[in-house]
Amino acid sequence: MKSTLSGTSVIGYARGTGSTAAGQAVHAASGAKLEPVYLSATPEEVDQAIDLAAAAFPAYSALSGKERGAFLRAIAEQIEGVVDDIAERGVMETGLPDARLRGETVRTTGQLRLFAALIEEGSWVDARIEKAQPERQPLPKADIRSMLRPLGPVAVFCASNFPMAFSVAGGDTAAALAAGCPVVVVAHHAHPGVAEIVAQAVMRAAVVTNMPEGVFSLLYGGGRAVGVPVVQHPVIQAVGFTGSRSGGTALMKAAASRPQPIPVYAEMSSVNPVVILPGALERGEAALAEAFFNSLTLGVGQFCTNPGLIFLPEGSGFVFLDRLKQLVGTSMPGVMLSEGIAKAYVDAVEAFAGTPGVETIARSAAPNGNGPGAAAVFSVSVRRFLEEDLLQGEMFGPAALIVRGTLEEIAATIPELEGQLTATIHGTEAELTAHSSLVQSLANKAGRVIFNGFPTGVEVCHAMVHGGPYPSTSDGRSTSVGTMSIHRFVRAVCYQSFPDSCLAPELQDGNPLGIWRMVDGELGR
Amino acid sequence: MKSTLSGTSVIGYARGTGSTAAGQAVHAASGAKLEPVYLSATPEEVDQAIDLAAAAFPAYSALSGKERGAFLRAIAEQIEGVVDDIAERGVMETGLPDARLRGETVRTTGQLRLFAALIEEGSWVDARIEKAQPERQPLPKADIRSMLRPLGPVAVFCASNFPMAFSVAGGDTAAALAAGCPVVVVAHHAHPGVAEIVAQAVMRAAVVTNMPEGVFSLLYGGGRAVGVPVVQHPVIQAVGFTGSRSGGTALMKAAASRPQPIPVYAEMSSVNPVVILPGALERGEAALAEAFFNSLTLGVGQFCTNPGLIFLPEGSGFVFLDRLKQLVGTSMPGVMLSEGIAKAYVDAVEAFAGTPGVETIARSAAPNGNGPGAAAVFSVSVRRFLEEDLLQGEMFGPAALIVRGTLEEIAATIPELEGQLTATIHGTEAELTAHSSLVQSLANKAGRVIFNGFPTGVEVCHAMVHGGPYPSTSDGRSTSVGTMSIHRFVRAVCYQSFPDSCLAPELQDGNPLGIWRMVDGELGR
């Protein structure tokens, strides 16, 4: 491994010393402890990182899109330079396969370059110009010009299930840095080594591209010692988080109790309902079962878009269920991300299995087929589903609940669901047309509605919405994937009667950046 | 008066009966009670209005922009038909002059028509299309299309200081209805009659344009009996509010404590700092004092954009201060909106006057020159200002605090201010260039930055930002004026692999609405 792991926080361009041990990574497959010991940032180091971020904000936010874009591209290059280290350490820390670590690294560098391209082009700032009308009656109209501006320093929490794409230089960090916000990252205890490798890459990129010190820091330490103090620090202006509902709601409370409340973008839990209409079964039940099984068990079911809830019309789908039993029965349990996740999964599966009215459809027949990472499928009636709040909960892992009822009952159940990241419907085009109110009802509950597909696999693009009503996220108006996610870290500011030379280039008369703008209500460039 | 006032809530297309008396309006100038007695909506009526809104949502949100636009235009026409009634009752209830009521009505109908035009044109939904790439390696790309969709039924609270423009059919209601959200309005006790006249106009417009019943309701009653229950009702998905910080933070708490927290857009308090640079004084101190005095006393200072905090360089501005003394000294107290506001104003002014280090610069010499609605100007050093939290507070009315210090001290004080709706700077173009970091620092604190003007007078247009960091609003990413305010009531939803015929017209291949869209990253139509 090229990278040296020191076990300390990255504070601007320097390294922390730490005080108490925050912990050691654990080899996911063997349970052995991995060197080095990671040291929790001291309260002084937390303040230092955040003060540096505050100091960096004026200069960093004033950089052009091209300059910030160069920084993002440099981060991508630096990460590519250590991809072998990421894969080596990542496999040990997370139990994810080498190909997944490398694939996630490609996604991470792709995200950074997508945001670089977005801000280099520049139109994302939604520039709006209303020219003065000094002769207007009864009152003159002043010159007013608005654009999106960064909120200020942002705290980003690494996710356990995405050591790269939602961690140190993942989607939240890329969006915040693109917006012009310095970022203070809080590492996840499950993969501190990958975090350190990536943080060093970011630090090198910041130096190479002459970014102000403090544009990026990485802190090690637990929620109480580091996480909550970071969220409650007056300098921090927004929070990005991907994780459990308990973790997300704790951050929401911490942010709401500040003298100045700030937005928290927590992507939490989702069971991703899938509605199967008769036409989908007619098309081929076995193939449908295979596609569902593949989505359910992808990454040992540890995706926020894992399809955990299937609505299947009563009295049909027997071949679908048979094929599913076969697939699940012969499946082998996978290694889960951490001991905590593995334990929570086993507990959730047992709780579902033990709920009156819940029938076990399929479990792995492997020796450890009731253990962590083993697939499981249950079934329940719509009536019982609606009676038991527990059954709307998430089994984070490769387990799903099939809810049986008439199509009318299924349609009536959708409005009772909690908010979701995704909702899926399988059927024919004619059925989709006939059930347009069901589609609308699914759209009211989710950020992404999928036809004849499965929700795992989130495309990083301009149209992606990876968000949804509470509790799938803390703020249903946001997405944490794709270029729209930059909007989480900005707000519009308007400038009234400013001389042209004192305006940002985005708002100057001559449109020197050649961006798309709305001028007196008309879009153009 | 053409309109008949019954004193009861408007529940969909019917009228409530009410139970207990919610109160009577008070003649602002004389203190006499005005008929009729207004009856508080019963808990059943609150549920009924909200259930109707929930039932109306699927149909209303599915209407085209043209259909919803016709509804907004019909509301504007119906309001114009009762403008004399609005003015007659409004003058009595609010103490505002006839011309202001009529002017505010014009602004209100103008807002409705601006939103109608926005949704009739249709590009505001930010349609984004990413076409499928089935051959892409290593993974195919699915077809993904996103657009903004309404959140669901919205609660709007009427403002005491804007009986038309931020009340029953004001900016919040217009934005929510334009977005596709049914609206449940909670009336303000200070102008129940104007509310009833406008609500009847909205109801007639809904009938004329065949809107689903429940698209609009108006409820009378206090915060505890009606306001909080509305905010906490599970159907309600967002809240619009303009008023005091205590009222706004109470609604924020009520919304955050729901099982499903929802966004609250509360526009609360702002002192709207004005920084005066030497060049502005050189240009003419007396004229500057006059312009400031006019802005300070406009509408008896009861605007959220009232300039209540002036930073004046030490050892200068003597002519400015002299002219201000003269203007304030000879000014007559105005009638304030309500007894509560009048009392709070007198208390706030006395608290400032009695704070050690605060010097009284000017007060009205009229017999009631220390009473409600009387202008007052105080002065304090930067040092004392930073020591006393009270002095950052708002005196809601025609009073201001002048803070004196060196330019360096003033610049260092801006980052210590709370969030503001507006920030203003007076000077020359050369000064603006020389003090670019001061400008940036003002922009970090406010939604609107004004050069050589005063903050009162908020243009309703595409570029307006009437919002700002907490506590000026509860959500600094939002504006409550202008077309961008529609974004408060929507979220993006994306559709994956949908057949063209099952997509909304905004997302169909043929672009039948001819709107601006982003297709594979390129804007066009």
| Local confidence pLDDT in tens for the 525 residues of chain A | 889 999 999 999 999 987 788 789 999 889 999 999 999 999 999 999 999 999 999 999 999 999 999 999 999 999 999 999 999 999 999 999 999 999 999 999 999 999 999 999 999 999 999 999 999 998 999 999 999 999 999 999 999 999 999 999 999 999 999 999 999 999 999 999 999 999 999 999 999 999 999 999 999 999 999 999 999 999 999 999 999 999 999 999 999 999 999 999 999 989 999 999 999 999 999 999 999 999 999 999 999 999 999 999 999 999 999 999 999 999 999 999 999 999 999 999 999 999 999 999 999 999 999 999 999 999 999 999 999 999 999 999 999 999 999 999 999 999 999 999 999 999 999 999 999 999 999 999 999 999 999 999 999 999 999 999 999 999 999 999 999 999 999 999 999 999 999 999 999 999 999 999 999 999 999
CA distance A45 to A9: 8
B299 and B198 in a common domain: no
Q: Known catalytic residue: A267?
A: yes
Q: How is the beta sheet containing B376-381 ordered, strand by strand? A: A522-524, A517-519, A128-130, A144-150, A490-496, B446-451, B420-426, B273-276, B309-313, B399-405, B376-381, B359-363
Any domain includes B200: yes
Instruction: Note whether residue B51 is domain-resident.
Output: yes
If contacts are CB pairs under 8 Å, which of residues 478-497 in chain A contact chain B? Answer: 478-479, 484, 490-497
Same domain, B396 and B436: yes
How many Å apart are CA A31 and CA A92, to the nearest integer?
A: 10
Q: What is the pLDDT of residue A479?
A: 97
Closest among A451, A7, A471, A456 to A196, alpha carbons compared:
A7
* Residue B503 domain-assigned (yes or no): no
- Specify the 3-state DSSP secondary structure of B70: helix
Write down the pLDDT at residue A19: 76
The answer to the question of residue B302 being in a domain is yes
Looking at the structure, tell me whether residues A279 and A171 fall in a common domain: no
Q: Residues for chain A: how many in total?
A: 525
Task: Out of A440, A443, A501, name the one closest to residue B429 (CB).
Answer: A501
Q: Are residue A30 and residue A179 in the same domain, yes or no? A: yes
Statement to judge: residues A200 and A234 lie in one domain: yes
Asked if B443 reaches chain A (Cβ–Cβ under 8 Å), the answer is: yes
B448: closest CA of chain A, how far (Å): 5
Say if residues A490 and A478 touch (Cβ distance below 8 Å).
no
Instruction: Assign residue B297 the CATH number of its domain.
Output: 3.40.309.10
Contact (CB<8Å) A432/B463: no
d(CA B147, CA B129): 9
Q: Are the C-beta atoms of residues B30 and B181 closer than 8 Å to each other?
A: no
Residue B18: per-residue pLDDT: 78
Same domain (yes/no): A192, A208: yes
| Three-class DSSP category at A361 | strand
Closest A-chain CA to B461: A130
Q: Which of B93, B213, B267, B285 is flagged as catalytic?
A: B267
By Cβ distance, the residue of B437, B449, B496 closest to A449 is B496
Residues in B 402-441 with any Cβ partner in A closer than 8 A? 418-419, 429, 432-433, 436-437, 439-441
B271-285 per-position pLDDT tens digit: 999 999 999 999 999
Q: Does residue B367 lie in a domain region?
A: yes
Is there a contact between A492 and B447 if contact means CB atoms under 8 Å apart? yes
Query: How close, in Å, is residue A44 to chain B by CA atoms?
Result: 22
Ordered alpha helix ranges (H), A332-414? 339-353, 382-387, 407-413
The CATH code of the domain that includes B37 is 3.40.605.10
What is the ipTM for the molecules in this complex? 0.97
Which segments in chain B show pLDDT lower than 70?
A: none
From chain A, the residues in CB contact with B116 under 8 A are: none
Q: Does B72 touch chain A (CB under 8 A)?
A: no
**Coil, strand or helix at B456:** coil
Whether A446 and chain B come into contact, CB under 8 Å, resolves to: yes
- Do B302 and B245 share a structural domain? no
**Same-domain pairing of A256 and A285:** no
Q: How far is B67 from chain A (nearest CA, A)?
A: 19
**Could you tell me how many CB contacts below 8 A there are between chain A and chain B?**
206
* Active site (annotated) includes residue A304: yes
* pLDDT tens, position by position, B308-339: 999 999 999 999 999 999 999 999 999 999 99
Domain extent for B191? 10-132+140-268+479-488
Burial-class residue B381 by CB neighbours within 10 Å (0-12, 13-18, 19+).
middle
Extended beta strands in A181-329, E state: 183-186, 216-219, 238-242, 264-267, 273-276, 309-313
Residue A467 lies in a domain: no
CA distance A450 to A443: 10
Same domain for B255 and B355?
Answer: no
For residue B497, being part of any structural domain is answered with no
- Return the residue in A106, A462, A472 with the most chain B beta carbons within 10 A, the one to mutate for interface testing: A462
C-alpha closest to that of B120 among B75, B154, B72, B153: B72
Report whether A153 contacts A182 (CB < 8 A): yes
A493 vs B448: CB contact, 8 Å cut-off? yes
Q: How far is A493 from chain B (nearest CA, A)?
A: 5
Residues B348 and B293 in one domain: yes
B279 and B339 assigned to the same domain: yes
Q: From the candidates B93, B213, B304, B409, which is the catalytic residue? A: B304
User: Do residues A157 and A279 both lie within one domain?
Assistant: no
Query: Residue A392: inside a domain, yes or no?
Result: yes
Q: How many domains does chain B have?
A: 2
